[in-house]
Structure 1
Amino acid sequence: MAGLASDGSNPDVSLLYDINGLAKAAPPWFDRVMEFTGEYGIVLGLVLVVLGCWWSVRRRGTAADSVSAIAALIWAPLAAGIALLVNIPIRGFVERPRPFRDHEGLDVLVAGKTDYSFVSDHATLAMALAIGIFVAHRRFGFAAIGLALAEGFCRVYMGVHYPTDVVGGLALGTAVALLLAPVALALLTPVVTAVARSRHGGRLVRSRRAAGGPAVAGSIGLPEPSRGAGERDLAA
């Protein structure tokens, strides 16, 4: 299975040379930026999107929406981890060498890559995170998907993956995050709901300044804390 792309007439190889050729024409400083972006930057960007989504849903959504969204945000990194584990036997079965081992003239921006190429771990991780975020919040999810696609482009630009490695990674991350989401959310939602019931943990799910008041428990169908007689009189 190692010969998925073996000659220049293959569109996969041709696209590899076209995209990686941009690195040859770019100034060295730009290649260093792309190297950092493709190795670490986009993953860090996705982490920031997760944090921004969490901050938004706990302040602006209803309590029930906050519980659902935060359960999905917890699922996002779990999905990424599962997808990377699924990729281990796939890589071992396909045994596709890195493109720079079979093709000369590539501008490889990251040295030391000795593992197999198909499918891309970075693309898999990025898209699994992005789909998990999309399940939690559409607007943040679209931004995350854009970052995941950019990750795939960077991996080819850097000369460490074929385009089909990236496509396979994006597909794998999407499949794991979407197909397992119903089961994962069914398990995670009660956990998040229990956290919302707690005195201090509830702030992780619902901000006190959020619209609709600070009572997280009552608005998600949980019993509200009892009030004293004086408080009841004032409420009346």
Structure 2
Amino acid sequence: MAGLALSGSNPDVELLYDINGLAKDAPQWLDRTVAYVGEYGLLLALVLLVLGGWWSVRRRSPSAEEAASSVAALIWAPLAAGVAVLVNVPIRGFVERRRPFLDHQGLDVLVSGKTDFSFVSDHATIAMALGVGLFVAHRRLGLAGIAVALVEGFCRVYMGVHYPTDVVGGFALGTAVALLLSPVASALLTPVVRAVAASPGIGGVVWRRPRGVGGVVAGDCAEESAGGRERDLAA
């Protein structure tokens, strides 16, 4: 498997040269910008989108119950990215695909020090897992997250550190983990988030009660009902 995509006639390699060739014709400041954005900036943007989703559902959810399920889905997004990276560890070890600049001459490599295996791209995996995980919880921000993930994949090839199929593989892995494990994650995380929402001290991190709306969470409603029954019995 180590010799995967070594042939110069391979469409994967040809597309690599076409995309990376844009870096050779671009001004140096643009290459430095793409290198920074592709290495750090876009992943940070995705984290900010997830935080924006949390802020949105916390303030706009009509009930604590709905907010709890949405926040649980948002928590799953970064967890999915972490799980996907762990899944990628044995995949990389099995495929053992070298970085493209080690086997192909003339590439403009914008980031040095990449010595690990190339397939699949961790950056593409993390980005798409975050984007798809966000989409499950918040459609509008999720679409923006997926768009950012696609740009991340393009940047990795532009930078000369990944083949296009490394990126496509990362997209597939991140999407699969985020979607396939989402029901299990929701079943495990939602009760925990619901318990946090029911806590008088920290429930506000899950749901901000709109002004004029009575009852903060289901737990408070249950306590009020129990108190009412006690008063009825006392009467």
Q: TM-score by structure 2 length?
A: 0.92
Distance 1:37 1:143 in 2: 16
Counterpart for residue 51 of structure 1: 51
**Letter matched to residue 70 of structure 2:** A
Distance 1:214 1:3, change over 3 A: farther
Distance 1:226 1:113 in 2: 61
Which ranges of structure 2 fall in alignment gaps of 5 or more residues? 229-235
State the number of aligned residues. Answer: 228
- Helix, strand or coil for the counterpart of 2:222? coil
Measured after TM superposition, the shift of residue 202 of structure 1 is 1.2
Measured after TM superposition, the shift of residue 68 of structure 1 is 1.1
TM-superposition CA deviations, 1:6-56 (whole Å, max 9, x none):
122110000000000010010000001100110000010001101111111
Distance 1:8 1:207, change over 3 A: same
Distance 1:211 1:154 in 2: 45
Counterpart for residue 115 of structure 1: 116
Identity of aligned residues (%): 70
Residue 23, structure 1, aligned to residue 23, structure 2: yes
Distance 1:106 1:212 in 2: 62
- Helix, strand or coil for the counterpart of 1:117? coil
**Letter matched to residue 14 of structure 1:** E
Counterpart for residue 232 of structure 1: none
Distance 1:60 1:7 in 2: 54
Distance 2:214 2:127 in 1: 34
Which ranges of structure 1 fall in alignment gaps of 5 or more residues? 230-236
Counterpart for residue 69 of structure 1: 70
Distance 1:173 1:4 in 2: 22
Contact 2:76–2:182 (8 Å) recurs in 1: yes
Q: Greater CA deviation, 64-73 or 100-109? A: 64-73
Residue 78, structure 1, aligned to residue 95, structure 2: no
Distance 1:65 1:23, change over 3 A: same
Distance 1:133 1:59, change over 3 A: same
TM-superposition CA deviations, 1:162-221 (whole Å, max 9, x none):
00000000000000111111011000000000001000221011113x377262314x89
Measured after TM superposition, the shift of residue 92 of structure 1 is 0.3
Distance 2:59 2:4 in 1: 49
Distance 1:206 1:214 in 2: 13
**RMSD of aligned residue pairs (Cα, Å):** 2.0
Distance 1:35 1:25, change over 3 A: same
Distance 1:214 1:174, change over 3 A: farther
TM-superposition CA deviations, 1:93-113 (whole Å, max 9, x none):
000000000000000000010
